[in-house]
Amino acid sequence: MEQAPRDPERQLQPAPLEPLGHPDAGLQAAVSEEAEGARDEGSGEGTMTENNFWLKKIEINVSEAEKRTGRNAMNMQETYTAYLIETRSVEHTDGQSVLTDSLWRRYSEFELLRNYLLVYYPHIVVPPLPEKRAEFVWHKLSADNMDPDFVERRRIGLENFLLRVASHPILCRDKIFYLFLTQEGNWKETVNETGFQLKADSRLKALNATFRVKNPDKRFTELKHYSDELQSVISHLLRVRARVADRLYGVYKVHGNYGRVFSEWSAIEKEMGDGLQSAGHHMDVYASSIDDILEDEEHYADQLKEYLFYAEALRAVCRKHELMQYDLEMAAQDLASKKQQCEELATGTVRTFSLKGMTTKLFGQETPEQREARIKVLEEQISEGEQQLKSKNLEGREFVKNAWADIERFKEQKNRDLKEALISYAVMQISMCKKGIQVWTNAKECFSKM
């Protein structure tokens, strides 16, 4: 009996997905020839010669956000934010360039694009979208999703999402993604026509596979644990930052009281008045600077939030692998059962208790012709089951290969991005402390001149 494979290299994976095709309009003049040359003819998905191929050929910008009012699917009036996406090719060597394409998209359309990518590319760590509503905010910051500052940060996050997809060696070549950038009308209909919703795995099915899979790949189990820990660590870090921002805001604003007191004091002093007035001015400037400082901090927080949401993207890959491994084990179990039934019919012995065995004892043995017919049917089912199991094994090896290649790419990206973000945050804190020292140094000079 062929058992479900334990070797990680024999874990399963969805058959390589056939690409939907290459763009045939708009920015084609900028990308088509090179993209066709980069396509790997031997694989269903194809690759790019460089990860940032699209970004070297076109520029993608989410240039502005606009508040709008319209009616939803329930014919109820709603207020939403639309984002202007602009794409244009990088200038050619002859000095000419393709005209700019621009269109408006809602956040829900970004969600639809990402859901499609999750279904059609289950082995890829699909970039996350920015948060729909503000989380981990300090108390002075608005949590309203229509707040202008929040909308601006989300605009930056949506642009970053598009740039992430455009720089991915596989996702950048997807036709639906291309149409998202260039086709405003009927884009939703085009996505729905792919039938991706029918191919999506249900949460109940995924949960069932998680608890019932017998031979999970240790690497994917460890990756799932890592994603949970990464999410927990970043969540704690964001909460700490929010608490620090609250207290920092209070400390800076209290310095404004210094400014007020020094100004009031200067009014009753003749010889010391100018020095006190100048010192009060420095304190007022210092107190007002905290608003810009904390606004800059929010951008660093958003960079951390991106990897908070990336943790769920990692778990999505792990869940897909568990589903496929569970299907493989069920196929192996079904094949083993049919082989046992065939052997029992051929030898006339029953190894285990079964309803069929009880029926035979009650109503007598089958005729040789009936037994031969059943054996023939089972042999055909066994042959078909062996082919299915072989196919699932091949799919499994391909999934593991593709998934780990993309996970390694993600790890390199994560290490580079988080290192840069944390260093920049530290530099900003150092700069902020230096400004505080400079304020008190200036105040000292003012006091010295009195």
Distances (CA, A) of 291 to 245, 253, 323: 10, 10, 49
Helix (H, G, I), strand (E, B) or coil at 129: coil
Residue 349 backbone zone (phi > 0: left; psi -120 to 50: alpha; other: beta): beta
Q: Which residues contact 439 (CB under 8 A, 6 or more apart)?
A: 255, 282, 283, 285, 286
Which has more pLDDT, 129 or 91?
A: 129
pLDDT in tens, 249-273: 888 888 889 989 998 998 888 888 8
Instruction: Extract the tokens encoding 65.
Output: 């956000």
For tokens 């604003």, what's the residue?
253
pLDDT in tens, 358-416: 555 544 566 777 778 888 888 888 888 889 889 888 988 899 999 999 999 999 999 99
E strand or H helix at 264: helix 218-266
414 burial type by CB count under 10 A (0-12 exposed, 13-18 middle, 19+ buried): middle
Average pLDDT over residues 235-242: 91
Res 15: pLDDT: 36
The candidate with the shortest Cα–Cα distance to 380, out of 421, 350, 339, is: 339
pLDDT in tens, 104-116: 999 999 999 999 9
The domain segmentation of the chain, as residue ranges, is 201-349+371-449
Res 210: pLDDT: 66
Question: In this structure, are residues 230 and 318 in contact, taking their beta carbons and an 8 Å threshold?
Answer: no
> What is residue 130's DSSP assignment?
P
Answer yes or no: is pLDDT of 308 > 50.
Answer: yes
What is the greatest pairwise CA distance in the chain?
Answer: 123
> What is residue 330's DSSP assignment?
H
Res 379: pLDDT: 84
Where does the pLDDT of residue 141 fall: very low under 50, low under 70, confident under 90, or very high at 90 and above?
low
Answer yes or no: is pLDDT of 9 > 50.
Answer: no
Distance CA 131, CA 128 (A): 9
Domain 201-349+371-449 part of CATH 1.25.60.10 = no
DSSP states of 74-110 as a string?
TS-EEEEEEEEEEEEEPPPTTS--PPPEEEEEEHHHH
pLDDT in tens, 336-360: 888 888 887 777 665 555 555 555 5
Average pLDDT, the chain: 79
Average pLDDT over residues 184-190: 88
pTM above 0.85, yes or no: no
Res 142: pLDDT: 57
Average pLDDT over residues 69-87: 81
Question: In this structure, are residues 124 and 117 in contact, taking their beta carbons and an 8 Å threshold?
Answer: yes
For tokens 């999934």, what's the residue?
399
Res 139: pLDDT: 54
Res 34: pLDDT: 41
